[in-house]
Structure 1
Amino acid sequence: MAKRSKGAQKTQATAPRGVTSLTEAKAWMASRGITEIECTVPDLAGVARGKIMPASKFFSSPVMNLPLSVFFQTISGEYPDYEGLVDSVIADSDLVLEPDLATLCSVPWAQDPTAQVIHDAYHRDGRPVELAPRQVLRHVISLYEKKGWKPVVAPEIEFYLVEPNTDPDYPLKPPVGRSGRPEIGRQSYSIQAVNEFDALFEDIYDYSEAQGLEIDTLIHEDGAAQMEINLRHGDPLVLADQVFLFKRTIREAALAHKIYATFMAKPIANEPGSAMHIHQSVINTATGRNLFSDEDGDPTPEFFSFIAGHQKYLPSVMCIMAPYVNSYRRLTRDSMAPINLQWGYDNRTAGLRVPPSTPEARRLENRVPSSDANPYLAIAASLACGYLGLTENLRATDPIDGDAKNLDFDLPRGLLEAVAAFQDSEPLAEVLGERFVSAYAAVKQAEFETFMRVISPWEREYLLLNV
Structure 2
Amino acid sequence: MAKRSKASTAKANTGKTSGSKAAAKAPKADSAISSPRGVKTLAEAKAWMAARGITEIECTVPDLAGVARGKIMPASKFFSSPVMNLPLSVFFQTISGEYPDYDGLVDSVVADSDLVLEPDFSTLCTVPWAQDPTAQVVHDAYHRDGRPVEEAPRQVLKNVLSLYAKHGWTPVVAPEIEFYLVEPNTDPDYPLKPPVGRSGRPEIGRQSYSIQAVNEFDALFEDIYDYSEAQGLEIDTLIHEDGAAQMEINLRHGDPLMLADQVFAFKRTIREAALAHKIYATFMAKPIANEPGSAMHIHQSVIDTKTGKNIFSDADGDPTPEFFSFIAGQQKYLPAVLCILAPYVNSYRRLTPDSMAPINVQWGYDNRTAGLRVPPSLPDARRVENRVPSSDANPYLVIAASLACGYLGISQGLRPTEPLEGDAKDKPFDLPRGLLEAVAEFAECEELGEVLGRRFVTTYAAVKRAEFETFMRVISPWEREYLLLNV
Q: How would you bin the TM-score normalised by the shorter chain?
A: over 0.9
Within 5 A, what are the aligned runs for 1:226-245?
Answer: 226-245=246-265
Deviation at 1:10, TM superposition (A): 4.5
TM-score between both structures, scaled by the size of structure 1: 0.98
Task: Measure the CA separation in 1 of the matches of 2:123 and 2:462.
Answer: 30
Cα RMSD of the aligned pairs, angstroms, is 1.3
| Among candidates 318, 323, 329, match of residue 303 of structure 1 | 323
Task: Measure the CA separation in 1 of the matches of 2:10 and 2:367.
Answer: 38
Kept in 2: contact 1:82–1:91 (CA 8 A): no
Match of 1:142 in 2: 162
| Among candidates 286, 290, 312, match of residue 310 of structure 2 | 290
Match of 2:382 in 1: 362
Deviation at 1:361, TM superposition (A): 0.2
Residue 75 (1) aligns with residue 95 (2): yes
Deviation at 1:22, TM superposition (A): 1.2
Q: Name the aligned partner's letter for residue 396 of structure 1.
A: P
Kept in 1: contact 2:13–2:226 (CA 8 A): no
Residue 446 (1) aligns with residue 469 (2): no
Match of 2:244 in 1: 224
Match of 2:266 in 1: 246
Within 5 A, what are the aligned runs for 1:21-420?
Answer: 21-88=41-108, 91-420=111-440
Q: Name the aligned partner's letter for residue 138 of structure 2.
A: I
SS at match of 2:393: coil
Q: Name the aligned partner's letter for residue 343 of structure 2.
A: P
Deviation at 1:88, TM superposition (A): 4.6
SS at match of 1:289: coil
Deviation at 1:282, TM superposition (A): 0.2
Kept in 2: contact 1:7–1:206 (CA 8 A): no
Kept in 1: contact 2:13–2:230 (CA 8 A): no
Deviation at 1:11, TM superposition (A): 7.3
Describe the shift of the 1:89–1:401 C-alpha distance in structure 2 as closer, same or farther (beyond 3 A): closer
Kept in 1: contact 2:88–2:109 (CA 8 A): no
Q: How many residues align?
A: 463
Deviation at 1:30, TM superposition (A): 1.0
Describe the shift of the 1:89–1:385 C-alpha distance in structure 2 as closer, same or farther (beyond 3 A): closer
SS at match of 2:107: coil
Kept in 2: contact 1:274–1:371 (CA 8 A): yes
Q: Name the aligned partner's letter for residue 309 of structure 2.
A: R
Q: Unpaired runs of 5+ in structure 2?
A: 1-8, 17-28
Deviation at 1:287, TM superposition (A): 2.4
Deviation at 1:436, TM superposition (A): 0.2
Q: Name the aligned partner's letter for residue 409 of structure 2.
A: G
Deviation at 1:250, TM superposition (A): 0.1
Encode CA deviations 1:290-349: one digit per residue, 9 max, x unaligned.
Answer: 000000000001100000000000000000000000000000011110000000000000
Q: List structure 1 segments (4+ residues) > 4 angstroms apart after TM superposition.
A: 5-13
Encode CA deviations 1:120-164: one digit per residue, 9 max, x unaligned.
Answer: 000001010000000000000000000111000000000000000
Deviation at 1:453, TM superposition (A): 0.2
TM-score between both structures, scaled by the size of structure 2: 0.94
Deviation at 1:29, TM superposition (A): 0.8
Q: Name the aligned partner's letter for residue 242 of structure 2.
A: D
Kept in 2: contact 1:39–1:50 (CA 8 A): yes
Task: Measure the CA separation in 2 of the matches of 1:49 and 1:405.
Answer: 39
Deviation at 1:83, TM superposition (A): 2.4
Describe the shift of the 1:100–1:9 C-alpha distance in structure 2 as closer, same or farther (beyond 3 A): closer
Task: Measure the CA separation in 1 of the matches of 2:364 and 2:10.
Answer: 42
Encode CA deviations 1:233-267: one digit per residue, 9 max, x unaligned.
Answer: 00000000000000000000000000000000000
Match of 2:486 in 1: 466
SS at match of 1:278: strand
Task: Measure the CA separation in 2 of the matches of 1:419 and 1:6.
Answer: 46
Kept in 2: contact 1:140–1:431 (CA 8 A): yes
SS at match of 1:140: helix
Kept in 1: contact 2:115–2:143 (CA 8 A): yes
Q: Name the aligned partner's letter for residue 166 of structure 1.
A: T
Deviation at 1:8, TM superposition (A): 10
* Between 327-336 and 88-97, the greater mean CA deviation after superposition: 88-97
